[in-house]
Structure 1
Amino acid sequence: MQTDFQGRSRLTNEIVALKDIHLDAEEGTPSTAIREISLMKELRHTNVVRLHDVIHTESKLMLVFEFMELDLKRYMDVHGNRGALDPATVRSFMFQLLKGTAFCHENRVLHRDLKPQNLLINKRGELKLGDFGLARAFGIPVNTFSNEVVTLWYRAPDVLLGSRTYSTSIDVWSAGCIMAEMISGIPIFRGRDNNDQLNQIIRILGTPDENTIKRILSDSPEIQYRPLARMPKVPFQTLYPKVHPLAIDLLEKLLTFDPSQRISADEALRHPYFTTSAAIAQPYSTESQPATPSGYPNSEQQQQPTAQSDRPAVLTQTRAA
């Protein structure tokens, strides 16, 4: 069981975010928590949420993170036009998302669960990758992983097909899904289950040829492949007619069915969508807006403190709104 709190450090007086993980008497510390701690202690980057400390008591584990005001999903709900963000904000957030992702990949870490709820934003408009509970380190050759990863709507087609030899390309696919969602305010692929999600993808990307499918599943001979329905491709420019052609081109490269042809996060950062403007690296600042929209969280607001038991000495703890 996990509970999220907001607190204040008694040492620095800074607001911090607390993840309270209650320990099972028999099973001990959850593997997801061990994984998150071990990876995040090594990841130090502007676009990755900072893990400040880990506090271990007899009954729970408390992770102390830098405080971020809200996640991308809530940001879109509060600041967007029916969820859609303006082009400058989309570009800024995508640049930061890809920078954080590229850094993880350079350090041999797959996030494996990129989605708007796991991308955190502060008042300065800085976007950071959070929640590394499903993340994994990878090596060369690529390890065989579980295909039960990534929230369904952001799951790459190779994972949906059953491939377990995926690599960094699955995070790139998720980033493409997030880009499309920021553009339109609506998730691009909204399947009900694994098979329906795959159908949602081919209804837009078109049905890949048999050789592509065989190549994806070449390292998973146990998978019984069932031929997909034949669908024509729907151009992204048709779906998003008002979007700049460079944004469309990047989206197509991120959302490429064949993982071997999908652009890498590092390559995406050098795409003309970013390099044609000198201002692309500047984060979009919510403080520059004429007014703070209703519902935007104030980092100084806290609810009533919880009971004193198990409270770390260095922290003043309050449950997050």
Structure 2
Amino acid sequence: MSRRLRRASLSEIGFGKLETYIKLDKLGEGTYATVYKGRSKLTDNLVALKEIRLEHEEGAPCTAIREVSLLKDLKHANIVTLHDIIHTDKCLTLVFEYLEKDLKQYMDDCGSIMSIHNVKIFLFQLLRGLAYCHKRKVLHRDLKPQNLLINEKGELKLADFGLARAKSVPTKTYSNEVVTLWYRPPDVLLGSTEYSTPIDMWGVGCIFYEMITGRPLFPGSTVEDELHLIFRILGTPTEVTWPGITTSEEFKTYNFPQYQVEPLVNHAPRIDTDGHDLLSLLLKFEAKKRISAEEGLKHPYFKSLGEQVQTLADTASIFSVKDIALQRDPGKRSSIYPESSQGKSRRQSVLF
């Protein structure tokens, strides 16, 4: 079918039309974009409507256009689905699948004490989504708990690809918030513009630590503060730990004290040996030494999830594997956990 005919038939069904969606509550707002919870009249499913205002002279912010062009081509169980795009003179509306909360809210709801088993399931899903992106030469570049969405089944999905594939790491997002430094690798903090897949892997390490401990690993407020926090735990880099660092002008201008390495396990006592090993491989100073998402999935840390999770089709959920389920988080008031032995027909208060 030609593209024009296909578009016409989709339009008849109701795709690409604002009236197909009912706007419900506002979920968040920035300078350019407002996100609403909505409902599709076609499917009756909940959706997230991201409205990007176009009255600014520059038209659609390039970050929004980038997000659309990337997400149209990414089809994976651990990447948020873009269902529809509606373009009017004043507004570009992106229609996404709706997920109940993000990882930050999930951690807050557990009183920051997540089940170690659930940490593993979430981390595996994060690596799956990233491995799929990285294979397609797409970097996310803004990984943080707020950009990882979780539905009531416990499926975790990468969202907010607004910064993906840009040439520099901006200090502001297009909704004019300051971009957090907490998940940014030291090479980028020191001015490296060599962006490739390891840029995302450092962030994965920081998120892994945060899930295990309930607190951010490097919560810096400025670039210098961020680097101090990193070096205070991982040790100030030397030619041995980071070849070439001592000739970096940027690094020399800071004149950091000589911090010694502190074992990560001192800061994250709940982490086991395999988890500690994986965390260390993610938090390498030298970008090329960081473990890749693809390799990360095969790390012994995930052995307890069984063989089947390694051969899932791209669009298959990890929960399609028998016996994989989230456990009740220790600090959680209500949770997604399997039905009790009384065989209840519905999951107990699945709405978190």
Asked whether the two chains share a fold, i.e. TM above 0.5, the reply is yes
What CA deviation, in whole Å up to 9, does each residue of 1:26-50 have, x standing for no partner? 2111101011001101111000000
Which of 275, 284, 301 matches 1:256? 284
The aligned residue for residue 148 of structure 1 is: 170
Q: CA deviation at 1:213?
A: 5.1
* Counterparts of 2:339 and 2:145, CA distance in 1: 22
1:57 maps to 88
Q: Which range moved further: 206-215 or 52-61?
A: 206-215
SS at match of 2:182: helix
**What amino acid does structure 1 have at the position aligned with 2:108?**
D
Give secondary structure in 2 for the equivalent of 1:248.
helix
Indicate the residue corresponding to 2:12 in structure 1: none
Q: For 1:217 and 1:17, how far apart are their aligned partners in 2? A: 48
Structure 2 stretches of 5 or more lacking a match?
Answer: 1-31, 172-178, 310-317, 319-323, 328-335, 341-347
Where does the alignment leave 5 or more consecutive residues of structure 1 unmatched? 138-144, 298-321
Q: Which amino acid aligns with 1:155?
A: R
| Distance across 2 between alignment mates of 1:274 and 1:51 | 29
User: Matches of 2:220 and 2:249 in 1, distance apart?
Assistant: 24
Indicate the residue corresponding to 1:32 in structure 2. 63
Q: Secondary structure at the match of 2:44?
A: coil
Contact 1:158-1:166 within 8 A present in 2 as well: no
**Counterpart check, 1:98 vs 2:127:** yes
1:117/1:198 CA distance change after superposition, 3 Å:
same
Distance change >3 Å, CA 130–CA 216, structure 1 → 2 = farther
1:173 to 202, 210, 214: 202
Contact 1:49 1:66 in 2 (8 A): yes
Look up the equivalent residue of 1:69 and give its one-letter code: E
Check the 8 A contact 2:128/2:294 in 1, yes or no.
Answer: yes
Q: Which residues in structure 2 correspond to 1:212-223 (within 5 Å)?
A: 215=244, 223=250
Question: Aligned partners of 1:216 and 1:39: how far apart in 2?
Answer: 34
Residue-by-residue CA offset, 1:188-244 (whole Å, 9 max, x unaligned): 1111100100000011101111366564698xx885743432111110111122321
Cα deviations across residues 271-297 of structure 1 (Å, max 9, x unaligned)? Answer: 00002442874352725277549xx56
Deviation at 1:119, TM superposition (A): 0.1
Asked if structure 1 preserves the Cα contact closer than 8 Å seen for 2:237 and 2:245, the reply is no
Whose relative contact order is higher, 1 or 2, with alpha carbons under 8 Å and at least 6 apart?
1
1:268 aligns with 2:296: yes
- The list of structure 1 runs, each at least 4 consecutive aligned residues, that deviate by more than 6 angstroms after superposition, is none
Rounded to whole Å, the distance in 2 between the matches of 1:222 and 1:39 is: 35
Which whole-Å CA distance do the structure 1 matches of 2:182 and 2:142 have between them? 11
Could you tell me which of 338, 342, 346 is aligned with 1:288? Answer: 338
- 1:222–1:188 CA distance, 2 compared to 1 (3 A): closer
Q: Scaled by the length of structure 1, what TM-score is found?
A: 0.82
For 1:304, the equivalent position in structure 2 comes to none
| Offset, 1:245 | 1.1
Q: Which amino acid aligns with 2:39?
A: R
Counterpart of 1:243 (choices 244, 263, 271) is: 271
Task: Report the more deviating stretch, 237-246 or 97-106.
Answer: 237-246
**What's the RMSD between the two structures over aligned residues?**
2.3
> Helix, strand or coil: the match of 1:5?
strand
Say whether the 8 Å CA contact 1:216–1:258 is kept in structure 2.
Answer: no
| 2:77–2:129 Cα contact (<8 Å) kept | yes
Aligned counterparts of 2:239 and 2:250: Cα–Cα separation in 1: 15
Counterpart CA distance in 2 for 1:217 and 1:147 is 24
- The question of 1:68 aligning with 2:118 is answered no
State the 1:148 CA deviation. 3.1
> Which letter maps to 1:196?
D
* Structure 2 counterparts to residues 11-50 of structure 1, below 5 A: 11-50=42-81
Residue type of the partner of 1:31? C
1:159 CA displacement: 0.6
Matches within 5 A, 1:174-213: 174-210=203-239
Matching residue within 125, 143, 154 for 1:125: 154
Letter in structure 1 aligned against 2:98: F
The total of aligned residue pairs comes to 284
List per-residue Cα deviations over 1:151-184 (Å, max 9, x = no partner). 2101101111110113111100001100000001
Q: Can you list the C-alpha shifts for 1:242-267, whole angstroms capped at 9, x where unaligned?
A: 32111111111111122121111111
Moved more, 31-40 or 5-14: 5-14
Distance 2:274 2:230 in 1: 22
| TM-score normalised by L of structure 2 | 0.75
